[in-house]
Amino acid sequence: MDEPSVLDYLKAKLTFWKKPNFELVGQDEETRPPEDLPVAAGEERQETRLALLRLPWPILLPSGLALMAQFFLEPPNRSGIPAALLYGAAALSGGIAAWKGWLSLAE
């Protein structure tokens, strides 16, 4: 029996740092799925842009601004004016996101 078992396949996949001692049948260059083929640099950048656009920016921006405002209110060097400005910017960006309907959870 020269065919690898499912256990052999699983062991080879889990120990990726070792070179597998068997070759899978039908995994030639021509038969590889298209997603495994190398892509151009432009396509890679486009995928990165799409991934950045999929981030929940209407939630991350106000949260980040509020965290920065909270940083300005830490005990050693408290600065009330920058903290108030950042909290205002967080409230404004959160309000705009809610007003525009960007905070819908039904997606």
Instruction: Work out the pLDDT band at 33, boundaries 50, 70, 90.
Output: low
Structure tokens at 32: 């590889």
Residue 91: what pLDDT?
Answer: 93
26 pLDDT above the threshold of 60: no
Least confident among 14-18, 28-32, 68-72, 83-87:
28-32
- Cβ atoms of 102 and 58 closer than 8 Å: yes
How many CB atoms sit inside 10 A of residue 63's CB?
14
Residue 97: what pLDDT?
Answer: 84
- Cβ atoms of 83 and 72 closer than 8 Å: yes
Q: What is the pTM of this model?
A: 0.47
How many CB atoms sit inside 10 A of residue 95's CB?
11
Residue 76: what pLDDT?
Answer: 83
Quick: pLDDT tens for 39-91: 565 666 777 777 766 777 788 889 999 999 999 888 888 888 999 999 999 99
d(CA 3, CA 1): 6
d(CA 67, CA 83): 10
* DSSP-H helix ranges across 16-104: 41-53, 57-72, 80-100
What residue type is assigned to position 52 of the chain? L
